[in-house]
Amino acid sequence: MTARAARRSAGLLLYRRTGDGLQVLLGHMGGPYYAKKDAGAWTVPKGEYGPDEPAREAARREFREELGLAPPDGEAVPLGEVVQAGGKIVTVWAVEGDLDPDAIRPGTFTMVWPPRSGQVREFPELDRVAWFGLDRAREVIITAQTAFLDRLAEHSG
Protein backbone atom coordinates (compact mmCIF):
# COMPACT_ATOMS: atom_id res chain seq x y z
CA MET A 1 0.00 0.00 0.00
CA THR A 2 1.44 3.39 -0.96
CA ALA A 3 0.84 6.60 0.91
CA ARG A 4 -0.66 9.44 -1.09
CA ALA A 5 1.56 12.50 -1.19
CA ALA A 6 0.28 15.42 0.85
CA ARG A 7 -1.20 18.26 -1.17
CA ARG A 8 0.90 21.40 -0.99
CA SER A 9 -0.08 25.05 -1.39
CA ALA A 10 2.01 28.21 -1.40
CA GLY A 11 0.97 31.81 -0.95
CA LEU A 12 1.91 35.39 -0.25
CA LEU A 13 0.60 37.26 2.77
CA LEU A 14 0.54 40.93 1.83
CA TYR A 15 0.88 43.27 4.82
CA ARG A 16 1.04 46.99 5.45
CA ARG A 17 1.86 49.21 8.42
CA THR A 18 -0.80 51.68 9.54
CA GLY A 19 -1.23 54.02 12.47
CA ASP A 20 -3.24 51.24 14.12
CA GLY A 21 -0.56 48.57 13.57
CA LEU A 22 -0.09 45.86 11.00
CA GLN A 23 -2.82 44.92 8.57
CA VAL A 24 -2.92 41.83 6.36
CA LEU A 25 -4.76 41.19 3.12
CA LEU A 26 -6.95 38.08 3.25
CA GLY A 27 -9.28 36.56 0.71
CA HIS A 28 -12.75 35.17 1.40
CA MET A 29 -13.04 31.74 -0.21
CA GLY A 30 -15.48 31.71 -3.10
CA GLY A 31 -18.15 29.20 -3.92
CA PRO A 32 -21.35 28.11 -2.28
CA TYR A 33 -19.82 26.37 0.76
CA TYR A 34 -18.39 29.62 2.15
CA ALA A 35 -20.99 32.13 0.91
CA LYS A 36 -22.57 32.70 4.33
CA LYS A 37 -19.52 31.99 6.48
CA ASP A 38 -17.09 34.48 7.97
CA ALA A 39 -15.02 32.77 10.68
CA GLY A 40 -12.71 30.21 9.08
CA ALA A 41 -13.63 31.30 5.55
CA TRP A 42 -10.75 33.75 4.99
CA THR A 43 -7.33 32.69 3.76
CA VAL A 44 -3.93 33.83 2.61
CA PRO A 45 -4.13 34.01 -1.22
CA LYS A 46 -2.56 30.68 -2.13
CA GLY A 47 -2.86 27.65 -4.33
CA GLU A 48 -1.61 24.18 -5.00
CA TYR A 49 1.59 23.36 -6.84
CA GLY A 50 3.35 20.25 -8.04
CA PRO A 51 6.72 18.74 -7.12
CA ASP A 52 8.50 20.33 -10.10
CA GLU A 53 7.63 23.94 -9.19
CA PRO A 54 9.54 25.79 -6.46
CA ALA A 55 7.18 26.89 -3.67
CA ARG A 56 8.11 30.57 -3.84
CA GLU A 57 7.45 30.68 -7.60
CA ALA A 58 4.11 28.95 -6.98
CA ALA A 59 3.25 31.55 -4.32
CA ARG A 60 3.87 34.38 -6.79
CA ARG A 61 1.93 32.61 -9.57
CA GLU A 62 -0.99 31.89 -7.27
CA PHE A 63 -1.13 35.52 -6.08
CA ARG A 64 -1.57 36.56 -9.72
CA GLU A 65 -4.15 33.82 -10.40
CA GLU A 66 -6.16 34.38 -7.23
CA LEU A 67 -6.21 38.18 -7.32
CA GLY A 68 -5.66 38.99 -10.98
CA LEU A 69 -2.83 41.36 -10.02
CA ALA A 70 0.94 41.14 -10.19
CA PRO A 71 2.56 40.06 -6.93
CA PRO A 72 4.54 42.77 -5.12
CA ASP A 73 8.30 42.81 -5.60
CA GLY A 74 9.30 43.59 -2.01
CA GLU A 75 11.39 41.42 0.29
CA ALA A 76 9.71 38.05 0.85
CA VAL A 77 9.89 37.06 4.51
CA PRO A 78 9.52 33.29 4.94
CA LEU A 79 6.76 32.46 7.43
CA GLY A 80 7.28 28.71 7.18
CA GLU A 81 4.57 26.16 6.75
CA VAL A 82 1.52 24.79 8.54
CA VAL A 83 -0.58 21.68 8.10
CA GLN A 84 -4.28 22.45 7.74
CA ALA A 85 -7.03 20.23 9.16
CA GLY A 86 -7.45 18.37 5.85
CA GLY A 87 -3.74 17.54 5.72
CA LYS A 88 -2.73 20.14 3.14
CA ILE A 89 0.71 21.65 3.77
CA VAL A 90 0.72 25.42 3.25
CA THR A 91 3.91 27.48 2.85
CA VAL A 92 3.71 31.29 3.02
CA TRP A 93 5.93 34.33 2.56
CA ALA A 94 5.01 37.80 3.84
CA VAL A 95 5.57 40.76 1.53
CA GLU A 96 5.01 44.38 2.50
CA GLY A 97 2.86 46.26 0.04
CA ASP A 98 -0.51 47.81 -0.57
CA LEU A 99 -3.34 47.28 -2.99
CA ASP A 100 -6.93 48.34 -3.39
CA PRO A 101 -9.24 45.37 -2.72
CA ASP A 102 -11.61 46.72 -5.38
CA ALA A 103 -8.88 46.19 -8.00
CA ILE A 104 -8.84 42.41 -7.75
CA ARG A 105 -10.01 40.26 -10.64
CA PRO A 106 -10.16 36.77 -9.14
CA GLY A 107 -9.60 33.56 -10.99
CA THR A 108 -12.49 31.09 -11.13
CA PHE A 109 -13.20 27.39 -10.69
CA THR A 110 -16.08 25.19 -11.77
CA MET A 111 -18.08 22.64 -9.83
CA VAL A 112 -21.40 20.85 -10.01
CA TRP A 113 -23.89 22.97 -8.07
CA PRO A 114 -26.31 22.22 -6.57
CA PRO A 115 -24.88 18.79 -5.65
CA ARG A 116 -25.96 15.94 -7.94
CA SER A 117 -27.83 18.41 -10.18
CA GLY A 118 -25.53 17.89 -13.16
CA GLN A 119 -25.28 21.68 -13.51
CA VAL A 120 -21.70 22.90 -13.77
CA ARG A 121 -21.32 26.43 -12.43
CA GLU A 122 -18.40 28.82 -12.24
CA PHE A 123 -17.38 30.54 -9.00
CA PRO A 124 -14.59 32.99 -8.08
CA GLU A 125 -11.62 31.48 -6.23
CA LEU A 126 -11.92 34.40 -3.81
CA ASP A 127 -15.19 36.31 -3.81
CA ARG A 128 -13.69 39.31 -2.01
CA VAL A 129 -10.53 40.48 -0.31
CA ALA A 130 -10.11 42.86 2.61
CA TRP A 131 -7.53 44.33 4.93
CA PHE A 132 -7.65 43.17 8.56
CA GLY A 133 -5.81 44.15 11.70
CA LEU A 134 -4.07 41.11 13.21
CA ASP A 135 -6.65 40.59 15.99
CA ARG A 136 -9.60 40.57 13.59
CA ALA A 137 -7.64 38.46 11.09
CA ARG A 138 -7.16 35.79 13.79
CA GLU A 139 -10.96 35.63 14.19
CA VAL A 140 -11.71 34.94 10.52
CA ILE A 141 -8.69 33.14 9.02
CA ILE A 142 -8.52 29.36 8.60
CA THR A 143 -7.44 28.13 12.04
CA ALA A 144 -4.08 26.63 11.04
CA GLN A 145 -3.11 29.83 9.22
CA THR A 146 -3.17 31.88 12.46
CA ALA A 147 0.44 30.70 12.86
CA PHE A 148 1.40 32.90 9.89
CA LEU A 149 -0.10 35.95 11.62
CA ASP A 150 1.85 35.17 14.79
CA ARG A 151 5.09 34.71 12.84
CA LEU A 152 4.54 37.98 10.94
CA ALA A 153 3.94 39.81 14.24
CA GLU A 154 7.17 38.35 15.67
CA HIS A 155 9.12 39.37 12.56
CA SER A 156 7.69 42.89 12.56
CA GLY A 157 7.87 43.41 16.33
Distance CA 128, CA 15 (A): 17
For residue 136, how far is the Cα from the chain centroid? 16
What is the pLDDT at residue 2? 47
The low-confidence residues of the chain, meaning pLDDT below 50, are 1-2
What is the pLDDT at residue 156? 85
pTM: 0.93
Burial zone of 43 (CB within 10 Å; 0-12 exposed, 13-18 middle, 19+ buried): buried
What is the pLDDT at residue 4? 60
CA 119 → CA 67, 106, 138, 142, distances in Å?
26, 22, 36, 29
Secondary structure class of 131 (helix, strand, coil): strand
**Average model confidence (pLDDT) for the chain?**
94
